[in-house]
Amino acid sequence: MKILTPMQIRVLGPLAFVLSSVILFVSCQSDVTAPVDPEIRPTDFDVQGASWTPLLATDTAFYTSVPTPATHDAADLAAAVAAFKSATENDRADIRLWNTGSVLRWNTIACDLVAKYNVAPFPERRPDGSFTGRFVVDPQRPFATPPFAARLYALLSAAHYDALIHCWRLKQQRVVQAPADLTSDFNAAAPATSASSWPNEDAALAAVSRTILSAMFPLETSAIGTHAATAVRSRVVAGRAWPEDVAAGDSVGMAVARRYMERARTDGMAQANDQEAWNAIEKTITVPYPRWKSMEIPARPPMLPLFGRVTLWNVPSTQAVDPGPPHAEGTPQWNAELEEMRQLTKSRTREQVRIANFWEDGAGTFTPPGHWCSLAKAEVQRRQLSPIRAARVLAFVTTAMHDAAVVAWDIKYKYIHPRPHALDRSITMSAGLPNFPGYISGHSAFSGSAATVLAHFFPDRASDFHAWAREAAESRIYSRIHLRVDCEVGVDVGNNVGTYSVDRAKQDP
């Protein structure tokens, strides 16, 4: 039986003792008896994924520093089997949980964090209750707005994709059989996911996720670390990885994560809420209708007015998909759409209410981009896709939605178009009033972009995805949050944004 090196102990932490002791990791999200998604047991490992092009982390120099696999003997295998047979029910629950697929599971964890932090900063009050003019902003508790969420999902999913491409390339260089491939004693506790257990892809995904999610949600670092340790340990206990495979996967994941954190530090998000810069820009804008202003009491600074300058993934520039301005005040289209809002305030059908509620995705939820992530994950589960194929789908869907957010916010603060309630106070809303301009609808842009990408990957469901996108857009009309022009143009813009993502996806066979 080999002794782990100090480097492996540092990487594995409590995992280093998996072959000699049982350690209980308690999930911070749910009890082990809670229902989980169906297990994914792919039959196609998509070995061609090794030839796919990473979206950002293209460098391969780090390959030389990835811990190499060792030769394992009968004693090693016997120890691995013993660890599996001594696993507790909690261990087995963890195995089943992560059998749902690390790519999907990490996206779900990210969605849960977004929902938890999707709470607007509170207005600061004096002891007498009066407003100080400031809002309580805590960098440790980020406001997980739809743009924040879209950026997070894209960073995470694209990094997952890149990490798996590098894992698949390395697997072709050194083929290692996992313990479960050498004996039937593991009873297929966890599915095989690749031709080689080295480097372990779950460890790579855990390293990526641990790094990115902890940076975005500093107060959740401990819980996120527990998830990562549990994910990797479940693969070792189930016989799908040797400790050396885990160390190699962690090395790959950390190399990719570093590249993604470099992007995150320089993509312009730090300046997206520069209110002083926005105030100077806003004074130069002229519009042929009442200009948007915050309707909150007390008035809150507009949400992320410079998010439209954040670095895009696939679209060459925001100007490339700019639809131009909306209708001017007093035009027939303007009058007709305002009247539609008045009529919907008076009466809505049961179906319109259902649609509005289903797609609301407001405060305390995983936001519209998270809603589309859930739809994408359901399709991946239904088709039992390999980890790298699942990551590919989510990477192009989420980078499309990120670009849709950047484009939509650029358009919003270029035309600063008012929302219906600001034009006629008799128009009431069935959802909260967003604190940013109406044209174009973010919901609609997110939905059009995601639907276009999903239709590319799953053409047999294309009509469903596009129908859902149109329904999501209509939902904002039924909630009287948006005029029709905001939503119809928003879907069109989203479709155009999604096409750029599809075009990039087509570059790999």
For residue 7, the model assigns a pLDDT of 34
Q: Render the burial of 354-368: b for 16+ CB within 10 Å, e for the rest.
A: ebbeebbbeeebbbb
For residue 36, the model assigns a pLDDT of 62
- pLDDT exceeds cutoff 60 at 406: yes
CA distances from 249 to 1, 196, 391, 461 (A): 22, 12, 16, 34
Residue 135's DSSP bridge partners are: 123
Residues 6+ apart with CB under 8 A from 422: 290, 292, 293, 295
Tokens of residue 9, six digits = 């102990």
Q: Mean pLDDT, to the nearest integer, of 313-340? A: 97
Residues 6+ apart with CB under 8 A from 335: none
Q: Which helix (H) or strand (E) holds 481?
A: none
Question: Is-contact 88 22, C-beta < 8 A?
Answer: yes
- Nearest-angstrom CA–CA distance, 499 and 496: 5
Percent with pLDDT over 90 in the chain: 85
Q: Mean pLDDT, to the nearest integer, of 7-13? A: 36
For 201-229, write each residue's pLDDT tens digit.
999 999 999 999 999 999 999 999 999 99
Strands (E), 126-163: 131-135
- Nearest-angstrom CA–CA distance, 407 and 404: 5
For 174-208, write each residue's pLDDT tens digit.
999 999 999 999 999 999 988 899 999 999 999 99
Question: Is-contact 220 113, C-beta < 8 A?
Answer: yes
For 217-261, write each residue's pLDDT tens digit.
999 999 999 999 999 999 999 999 999 999 999 999 999 999 999
For 430-445, write each residue's pLDDT tens digit.
888 899 999 999 999 9
Backbone angles phi, psi at 472, to 5 degrees: -60, -40
- pLDDT exceeds cutoff 50 at 307: yes
Q: Mean pLDDT, to the nearest integer, of 292-306? A: 91
Question: Is-contact 344 477, C-beta < 8 A?
Answer: yes
For 65-122, write each residue's pLDDT tens digit.
999 998 999 999 999 999 999 999 999 999 999 999 999 999 999 999 999 999 988 8
For 32-45, write each residue's pLDDT tens digit.
344 567 899 998 99
Q: Helix or strand or coil: residue 172?
A: helix
For residue 1, the model assigns a pLDDT of 38
**Average confidence score pLDDT of the chain:** 92
- Give 434-480 as a DSSP string: -SS--SSPHHHHHHHHHHHHHHHH-GGGHHHHHHHHHHHHHHHHHTT
- Nearest-angstrom CA–CA distance, 347 and 337: 15
Q: Is the pTM of this model over 0.75?
A: yes
For residue 260, the model assigns a pLDDT of 98
CA distances from 114 to 125, 158, 271, 349, 407 (A): 26, 18, 21, 32, 21
- Give 350-401 as a DSSP string: HHHHHHHHHT---TTS-HHHHHHHHHHHHHHHHHT--HHHHHHHHHHHHHHH
The answer to whether the peptide bond before residue 109 is cis (omega within 30 degrees of 0) is no
Tokens of residue 154, six digits = 């894209």
Q: Band the pLDDT of 265: cuts 50, 70, 90.
A: very high
Domains of the chain: 6-62+78-266 (no CATH), 273-505 (1.10.606.20)
Q: Mean pLDDT, to the nearest integer, of 492-497? A: 98
Identify residue 50 by its one-letter amino acid code: A
For residue 394, the model assigns a pLDDT of 98
For 345-397, write each residue's pLDDT tens digit.
999 999 999 999 999 999 999 999 999 999 999 999 999 999 999 999 999 99
Torsion (CA) 312, 119, 482, 345 in degrees, nearest 10? 170
- pLDDT exceeds cutoff 50 at 18: no
Q: Band the pLDDT of 264: cuts 50, 70, 90.
A: very high
Give 282 or 297, the one with higher predicted confidence.
282
Nearest to 246 by CA among 286, 294, 207: 207
